[in-house]
Amino acid sequence: MSAWMYVIGFIASCSLAVLLTPLVKKLAFRVGAVSVPNHRSVHTKIMPQMGGLAIFLAFAIVYTVVSLIARHYTTEITMALLIGGTIIVIVGAFDDRLALSPKVKLLGQVIAAIVVVSFGLQIDVINIPFTDWSWTPPTWLAIVITIVWIIGVTNAVNLIDGLDGLSAGVSGIATATIMVMALMMPQQEYPIALLCAVLLGSIVGFLFFNFNPAKIFMGDTGALFLGFTLATLSIVGYKQAAFVSFIVPILILGVPISDTLLAIIRRKLNNKPISAPDKGHLHHSLMSLGFSTKKTVLIIYGISILFGLCAVLLSQPTQWWTIVLLAIFLLGMEVGVEALGILSKKRKPVIQLLQRLSGQRSKG
């Protein structure tokens, strides 16, 4: 496939998202899909939600047209994303308007995940980096793992949607990472790369209106759709190349996944329900240090890019320096988590250990 098709797909979806977003904004106000400020909100005025509808429509329309023109598409992947994505968008749109119960939202996510599995897309091989070990789970377990993965990532992306442009930007970086890795595969995965190029364009187009100061929020319509799509692409990208690593997809989506896991641990340590909202997320912690909304988002973009670079490195033939680099990155991440007090304001074992080691060296 000509490289121009990726460029055309990106520009077309970006342009369409720019045209559609103002229309969706008017629609959101008309149907009452708005976000009213509360004690956990960063914004101070009523904001239209449901902006993710513009992302979805731009992606679906442009990808359908461009893939047919280029004749580079996989029916199973396309149908899984479009049908499953439509279900997710409908659920998100109703939630933005009516505030659905968690059970109803979960049911919609399960149905969308089952759609993906029904088209033969599932995690059927798990490889552990740095070893020759791989595991092929039985079919029923592979289906369960896939559904859990899709639902988990979908909600993880939704949970970080707390600042202007945050969720969209992090999702865009993850999409770009998957696209780069698809093009770097021994057998280049053109359909996956084209999907990513079009999705990235629709995200960037929406970001013109969503980056601080935002004129519209993506709402659950967008956050759930992006999470669902990224979860599916992370499976498909490696399934097509017969490589589903245990770590690489997690690194690609490192920010939303780590923030979600830390939230679960934090709430357990504080004896709070897992579903209980709080202001201990990464973006809250950064803002408590005095960073502005824009600077906080840019810092998290930088962290997302680092996660993406680690994922790209680990997808290549392993070198000793790759392992060292990953270890340093994970250590730095733990120090950052403790310094920000994301898990606990008092428990900082790694920082305390490093301080003791530093003290011993100075005495020596």
Q: What is the amino acid identity at position 229?
A: T
38 contacts 52 by C-beta, under 8 angstroms: no
Residue 164 marked as a ligand binder: no
Measure the CA–CA gap between 214 and 228, rounded to whole angstroms: 23
| Nearest alpha carbon to residue 92 among 79, 108, 81 | 108
119 contacts 238 by C-beta, under 8 angstroms: no
Enter the tokens of residue 330.
């994970």
Measure the CA–CA gap between 88 and 225, rounded to whole angstroms: 6
How far CA 132 is from CA of 124, 185, 240, 243, 331, in Å, comes to: 16, 19, 19, 12, 25
Residue 132 marked as a ligand binder: no
Burial 69-104 (b: 16+ CB within 10 A, else e): ebebbbeebbebbbebbebbbebbbbbbbeebeeee
Measure the CA–CA gap between 36 and 50, rounded to whole angstroms: 13
What is the number of helices (H) and of strands (E) in the chain? 14, 4
- Label each residue of 237-298 as H, E or C: HHHHCCCCECCHHHHHCHHHHHHHHHHHHHHHHCCCCCCCCCCCCHHHHHHHCCCCHHHHHH
Measure the CA–CA gap between 154 and 27, rounded to whole angstroms: 25
Binding-site residues, in ranges, read 158, 220
Binding-site residues for Mg(2+), in ranges, read 158, 220
